[in-house]
């Protein structure tokens, strides 16, 4: 019996340590299609930006300050498009970073609506958008705007479910 209690205690300690670095999350929206779909089960690295800097293309979950109908905070999952200090422009359906067209083969429709005129991304912040640009609340809207790196909960690094679509990011 003593050995069994010791094994349970070790398992609990390991689980607590793992949860400090990894957060399981379920996608609840269509804004990241075709990369992620509703009810996809993903894992986030909660420590990614403690050891490195965000990169263009990272998929992140972040705090917004927006509220759900039940009063809880609405978290969003989006792709990092613009990095601190860069100038971003969206016109005629194309995204430009520092006046060069950004190649984006991951978008659902290959078109980005809602023009943005030469926005310089502040230090310590990111410009993020969903891959489904026509159905995404993201940095193009004032309710979200640029996201403070400190508000990032984690970086998606693997999709675990559905099982036939397991993928690393």
**Residues designated catalytic:** 31, 78
Q: Which residues contact 147 (CB under 8 A, 6 or more apart)?
A: 60, 62, 78, 125, 126, 127, 128, 139
- 15: which 2 tokens? 């689980």
Distance of CA 106 to the CA centre of its chain: 14
Q: What is the helix (H) or strand (E) element at residue 21, kind and residue range? A: helix 2-21
Rounded Cα distance between 168 and 42, Å, is 9
- 136: which 2 tokens? 């995404």
């Amino acid at each position: 019996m003593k050995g069994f209690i010791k094994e349970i205690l070790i398992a609990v300690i390991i689980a607590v340590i793992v949860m400090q670095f990894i957060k399981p999350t379920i996608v609840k929206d269509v804004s990241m299609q075709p990369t992620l779909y509703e009810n996809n089960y993903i894992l986030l690295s909660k420590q990614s930006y403690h050891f490195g800097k965000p990169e263009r293309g990272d998929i992140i979950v972040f705090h917004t300050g927006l509220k759900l109908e039940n009063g809880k905070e609405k978290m969003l999952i989006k792709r990092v498009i613009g990095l601190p200090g860069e100038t971003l422009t969206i016109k005629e359906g194309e995204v430009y970073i520092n006046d060069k067209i950004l190649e984006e083969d991951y978008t659902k429709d290959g078109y980005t609506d809602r023009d943005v005129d030469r926005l310089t991304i502040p230090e310590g912040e990111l410009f993020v958008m969903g891959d489904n640009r026509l159905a995404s609340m993201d940095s193009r809207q004032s309710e979200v705007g640029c996201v403070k790196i400190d508000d990032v909960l984690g970086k998606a690094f693997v999709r675990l479910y559905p099982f036939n679509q397991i993928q690393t990011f």
